[in-house]
Amino acid sequence: MKVGFLQFCPQRGQVKENLRTIIGLIDGQECDLWVLPELCNTGYLFSDPDEAWDLAEEIPSGSTTEKLAEISVRNRSAIVAGIAERDEDQLYNSSILVTPKGDIFRYRKLHLFGYEKEVFSPGDREPEVFNIGRAMVGMMICFDWYFPETARILMLKGAQIICHPSNLVLPYCQKSMPTRCIENRVFAITANRIGSEVVGNRELVFTGGSLIVDPLGEVLAKASEDSEEFKIVDIVPKISSDKKLTRMNELRSDRRVELYGELLRNGDSDGSE
């Protein structure tokens, strides 16, 4: 199948303009699965939670989800995109997965980064894996990559491809995603944004460098740090279903889960008795 990322600079607060940019870049392209950046319809920084609330949308009834669903059907492409979600009295940093069959799935970011904690509620649902026909797909968002448990649980649930909408500002992720792929034997598509945003005394510069990585940690495609661009590559998703490392080693069965109890604790211990 053909998979791709779209790297661009969302304009803060300009939902309609951002959707026009997305449509202009991907409409008509031959690609089975697109991944777009985190908060790709609204931009990242908000002056306060009220502004975020006004820009957020319900899923699946919001205009962004509806428009991307139309594009998905028209182009026969599944699309993963990061959006601000409003649900009752809560705001979530979410991603949606829309498919040509009309499916709409969502994921809510588990690990909020920095000032996001002043705006969003953390995700309240365990990451899931979704069948899009040609592949089993899981989602995580930006800072989730820093917590290996996120990718690991998706792998254990059968993900062949991890879709990773991002607004990266730290310099580590692009170097680390090959490791995430090696340790889980999965494909990963990180769609980062470019540009910068300033709100009050906050300024963020985004690092671009979107990339597609295979289960052996090979970078199949990578974008520049500051250019609007998309890349599409051919992959064979079933390769990631083979977790056998050697004749005597298999990634899942070799795990010593009976000795991993500390992973379920809150991490406050300093290591002393």
Q: Is 38 a catalytic residue?
A: yes
Choose, from 109, 116, 173, 181, the residue flagged as catalytic: 109
Residue 254 placed within a domain: no
Task: Give the whole-number percent of the chain exceeding pLDDT 70.
Answer: 97
Question: H or E stretch including 25?
Answer: helix 15-26
What's the pLDDT tens digit per position in 147-161?
A: 999 999 999 999 999
Q: Do the domain assignments include residue 253?
A: no
Q: What pLDDT does 207 receive?
A: 98
State pLDDT tens for residues 197-228. 999 999 999 999 999 999 999 999 999 999 99
Share of the chain above pLDDT 90, in %: 95
Residue 153, in any domain of the structure:
yes
Is residue 23 situated within a structural domain?
Answer: yes
Q: What are 72-82's pLDDT values in tens digits?
A: 999 999 999 99
Confirm whether pTM is higher than 0.85.
yes
Question: How many structural domains are present in the chain?
Answer: 1
Q: For residue 74, what are the domain limits?
A: 2-245
Asked about 109 being catalytic, the answer comes back as: yes
Respond yes or no: is residue 173 known to be catalytic: no
In a domain, 262, yes or no: no
DSSP 176-219: HHHHHHHHHT-EEEEE---SEEEETTEEEE-----EEE-TTS-E
Which helix (H) or strand (E) element contains residue 71? helix 63-75
Q: How many other CB atoms are there within 10 angstroms of residue 82's CB atom?
A: 31
Domain-embedded: residue 138: yes
Q: What 3-state class would DSSP assign to 78?
A: strand
Q: What is the CATH number of the domain that holds 140?
A: 3.60.110.10
Domain presence at residue 150: yes
Dihedrals φ, ψ of 170, to 5°? -80, 155
Q: Single out the catalytic residue among 9, 31, 38, 163.
A: 38
Catalytic residue among 142, 163, 173, 181: 142
Is residue 256, in this structure, part of any structural domain at all? no
pLDDT of amino acid 270: 53
